[in-house]
Structure 1
Amino acid sequence: MRRALLLYSILFPLSFVPPLIPASFWEHVLIVFTAYLLVPAVISTALGFRPEELGLKLPNRNGLKLFALLFVLSVPLSIYGTTVPSMRSYYPVFPYSGVVGFVLGELGMGIIMLAHEAFYRGFLLFPLARKNVWLAIFLQNVPYTIVHRGKPAIEVPYAFIAGIIFAKMDLEGESFVPSFLLHWLGSALFDVLCVVVTP
């Protein structure tokens, strides 16, 4: 438990670094990848954690089933989200011109989502969850919710709820991959819907 708390204490401040650095979209991709994935990987390795102890492995069947179910259930929410003007005008967050630019932007978002989920649902969640599941879920969800400030207001409560659901799904799946897939593919679907419905 001491190692887990030490890792959490070291990584917690990193949660707030990427949002504070002014950057272009692709610069932001690099910053997030570095702060949320590369640096935590080095620190956790130095503390003696193995990848599987951090949820950094392929998911089991339960995780994949939960991902598929929640993705289907998220479709109506995504459709509803396009009726919220602040959401429709905010997304996609990347600049693009044409189909190729849009696809590249979504690949960039995939890198961001990979780093995000590895950080919150991997490095911050799994080590603590070995001793206390709900404490771990709460502690990873606090910074995750806070970093959504500044986005459309509806995203803050949504992030709080999603953070709990994502964490439970990943713990069931013994991997951060289900929440990565759900977050990325759900985000990509919403971006497509926003582009389609925007005049």
Structure 2
Amino acid sequence: MRLRKNPWVLYSSLLPFILLVRRSGGDIFRWAGYNLLFYLVLPFLLALLLGFKPRELGMKVGKRGGYRWALVLFLLTVPLSLYGTRIPSMKNYYPIFGYSGWGDFLLKELAMGVIMLSNEAFYRGFMLFPLAERNEWLGIIAHDVPYALAHIGKPWVEVPYSFIAGIVFAKLDMESESFLPSFLLHWFGSALFDLLCVIL
């Protein structure tokens, strides 16, 4: 079996990183550090070692259409976010961090941005793009199953929701040829939901 530039070798090598992140603990800043290390830095180095180029991993600005769709999808999720604040398990779970004031809240949302960037780089960049280059739907499903399963332990509705969102994010990013649109959509959507949970 050829190891160099083999998307399945990369994919299977990435799976243990999910467990490392799930077992990491600490406050939001430590968790952001673990995500950055295990979801972005080390997987990126591994992908380079296997011969993948950054652009083959969705690490570029990409096409503008993806950003337009990300904005449209963000606006469409506002009603879902408002509805989500009415689900007690969601409202009690989010935001996942405590805060002492609005400055602290904003600082921790920036840490969430690091977490979201790392997650999107890992799932949509390193897992999805190399596989989807060979078979789009196989890549989408292969990256989306561990992505959805990583949401176990959160409110139950998040597992099916994240599976659907993973497909939408994947299509969005492949259209854009970059994982940045899903990163922005994920981060801003998460920040909006946190804010709504606080003020409503």
Q: What band does the TM-score fall into relative to the shorter chain? A: over 0.9
Aligned residues: 197
The within-5 A match list for 1:39-188 is: 39-188=42-191
Name the aligned partner's letter for residue 144 of structure 1.
Y
How far apart, CA to CA, are the structure 2 residues paired with 1:69 and 1:79? 17
Name the aligned partner's letter for residue 7 of structure 2.
A
What per-residue deviation string (whole Å, max 9, x for no partner) do you get for residues 25-49 of structure 1? 2111111110000001110111111
Name the aligned partner's letter for residue 32 of structure 1.
N
RMSD (Å) for aligned C-alpha atoms = 1.1
Sequence identity percentage = 52
What per-residue deviation string (whole Å, max 9, x for no partner) do you get for residues 63-89 of structure 1? 111101101101000000000011011
How far apart, CA to CA, are the structure 1 residues paired with 2:91 and 2:72? 25
- Deviation larger for 143-152 or 56-65: 56-65
1:5 to 3, 8, 30: 8
The equivalent residue for 2:30 is 27
How far apart, CA to CA, are the structure 2 residues paired with 1:95 and 1:68? 28
How far apart, CA to CA, are the structure 1 residues paired with 2:27 and 2:187? 20
Describe the SS at the equivalent of 2:47. Answer: helix
How far apart, CA to CA, are the structure 2 residues paired with 1:6 and 1:136? 13
Q: CA deviation at 1:151?
A: 0.2
How far apart, CA to CA, are the structure 2 residues paired with 1:61 and 1:34? 29
What per-residue deviation string (whole Å, max 9, x for no partner) do you get for residues 111-133 of structure 1? 00000000000000001111100
TM-score by length of 1: 0.96
How far apart, CA to CA, are the structure 1 residues paired with 2:195 and 2:25? 26
Q: CA deviation at 1:23?
A: 2.1
Describe the SS at the equivalent of 2:36. Answer: helix
Q: CA deviation at 1:16?
A: 2.2
1:38 to 41, 45, 56: 41
How far apart, CA to CA, are the structure 2 residues paired with 1:19 and 1:10? 16
Describe the SS at the equivalent of 1:77. Answer: helix
What per-residue deviation string (whole Å, max 9, x for no partner) do you get for residues 125-145 of structure 1? 001111100000000001101
How far apart, CA to CA, are the structure 1 residues paired with 2:183 and 2:118? 9
How far apart, CA to CA, are the structure 1 residues paired with 2:64 and 2:9? 31
Structure 2: 5+ residue stretches without partners: none
Describe the SS at the equivalent of 1:93. Answer: coil
